[in-house]
Amino acid sequence: MAGLHELLGLDSAASPEQIRAAITAQRRSLRRRATSPDIAIRQEAELEMQRLSDAERGSNSSDPADGAAIEATRSPSRHRDTPRAESAAIETLSGTRSPHSADASESDASSTAGRDVSPIARAVAQLERGQHGVAVFTARRAVQSDPDNSYAWSVLAQAASASSDHATAIDAIERALELDPEDARLHALRGAVLRSADEPAKALAAYQAAASLQMDEPEYQVAMIEQLIAAGDVDRAITTAQQAYREQPDEGVLRTALARALAHRAYLAQHELADGRLLITTKEQANYVESLAGRGLSVAPSDPEVYSELMRHRDYARKALRPRFSFAALKQNYRWPLGFGLLATAVSCCVPNALKPDSDPFTRAFILLAAMGGVALFGLAVLRGCFQPQYQRNATLIEQTEPRRMGRLTPCPR
C-alpha cells in the first residue's frame, strides 16, 4: 500500500477511516480540477485520477485484507469503475462532454483491453457509442448483480433516459438516491432525467438540491439557471445567476449563464412577428433592451453565441432609436415642409436685390436673416415631419400585422 499512502500523503499506519476520508477528499479535489478551462490542469487532474485508481487496484490485489479496507472507502452504494468513467457517463446524458473526454475514454478503452470489463463499464461505453438500447440491457444486468450499487442505478437511469424510457429512468435514479441521498451528482442527474421527461418543476427542485449539497460546483448552478429559463421564469433565473456570479465572479460558466438569462430577457422584451422578426415599438422598450444587452456584455460571457446574440440585441435597440426618412411620414405631414419651403423660397428670391451695392444696409441684413430663418424652418419641418425613429415605423407595422408574441417590459432585478 506504499504507493496509495504516498499519493494520499498518509502514514503507513493510517486507519481505514483515515484512508476513506483522504480518498474522498482527493477525488473531490481532482473532480473540481478536471472541470478547469485550462486543458493542462484538466489533463493533470485526469492523470492523477488514473494514478489513484491504479494504486487502489494494486492495493486490492497485493493485500486482500487491505483491499477490503480500501473497498470500504467507496461504501456499498458508491461503487465506481473509475472516476473518469463516472464523469463520462454524467456528461453523456447532459450533453456537456468536453473535448478531452473523448480522448480520455479512448485512453481508458486501450488500458482496459485484454482484461475483463464490468457490466457498468460496458454500459458506459455503449452510451458513449450511442447504443442506448443495448446500454439499458447491460445496465439492468449490472443492477441485478449488485442492487446496492447507486452508480449502477445511475447508469441505468442515463441509458433509459437516452432511450426515451422515462418511467424506467425515473425509477432508476430514485433508487440510486435512496442508496446515496447525499450525492450531489445524483441529484443533478435526476434533474436531467426529469427535464428530459418534461417534469420542469421536479427537475428544478433536483438541481436546487444538487446546488445546495455542493455549493462550490458551478455546473449545478448553471443547470438550475437554465431550467428556470426553460420554465419561463426568466426574472428569477437572472436573480439566481447574479447571486451565483457575485459569489464566483471568475467562473466562466456562471458569467455565460447570467449573460444567457439577460439575452433571453431582452428577446422576450421585444415583439415577435409570425415570420420570426423581432420588433421594438417604443423608446422605453429600446432603452430597456439596450440596457439588458449592455449588462450581459459587461460580464464577458465565454460562449461566442451568447456574446453574438447580446450584440445583435444591443445594435438593434440602438438602430430602433435612430430617425430615418419615411415616405409615410412625409405623406402625413407634408403641409409643414411644403409651407416652410415656399416661405423660404419666397424670401430667398429677395436676396439678389439685397446684395446690390446701393441697397440699404438695414434692409439687406433683414432680408438675409429672413432667408436663413426660412431655410432653417424648412429644414426643421422636414426633419420633424419626414423623419421617424425606427420604433415608430415598427409600431405602424405591428398595427398592420398580427404578432405571434408581444414583448414584456417588467422590472428586471439589478
pLDDT tens string 320-339: 988 776 666 666 666 666 66
Mean pLDDT for 350-366 is 67
What is the distance between the alpha carbons of residues 353 and 292, in angstroms, rounded to a whole number? 59
- Average pLDDT of the chain, as a whole number: 77
Mean pLDDT for 281-306 is 93
Q: Which residues sit opposite 413 in a β-bridge? A: none
400 Cβ contact list (under 8 Å, min separation 6):
none
Q: At what angle do helices 200-213 and 218-230 cross, to 10 degrees?
A: 160
Asked whether the predicted pLDDT for residue 401 surpasses 60, the reply is: yes
Q: Name the CA radius of gyration of the chain, rounded.
A: 34
Q: What is the pLDDT of residue 165?
A: 93
Question: 38: pLDDT confidence band, cut at 50, 70 and 90?
Answer: low
Q: What is the pLDDT of residue 32?
A: 59
pLDDT in tens, 342-356: 666 766 676 666 666
Q: What is the pLDDT of residue 115?
A: 39
Q: What percent of the chain has pLDDT over 90?
A: 36
pLDDT in tens, 241-274: 999 999 999 999 999 999 999 999 999 999 998 8
Mean pLDDT for 175-192 is 91
What is the distance between the alpha carbons of residues 367 and 349, in angstroms, rounded to a whole number? 10
Q: What is the pLDDT of residue 88?
A: 41
Considering only residues 356 and 26, tell me which one the structure prediction assigns the higher pLDDT. 26
Q: What is the pLDDT of residue 323?
A: 79
Question: 407: pLDDT confidence band, cut at 50, 70 and 90?
Answer: confident
Asked whether the predicted pLDDT for residue 154 surpasses 60, the reply is: yes
Q: What is the pLDDT of residue 103?
A: 43
Q: What is the pLDDT of residue 347?
A: 65
Here the cell at position 284 is 422605453
Q: CA separation (Å) from 70 to 19, 83, 95, 117, 128?
A: 7, 15, 33, 20, 29
What is the distance between the alpha carbons of residues 406 and 363, in angstroms, rounded to a whole number? 60
Sign, CA dihedral 357-361-363-369, equals positive
Number of Cβ within 10 Å of residue 74's Cβ equals 17
Asked whether the predicted pLDDT for residue 63 surpasses 60, the reply is: no
Answer yes or no: are the C-beta atoms of 344 and 377 closer than 8 Å.
yes
Chain-centre distance of CA 232, in angstroms?
Answer: 14
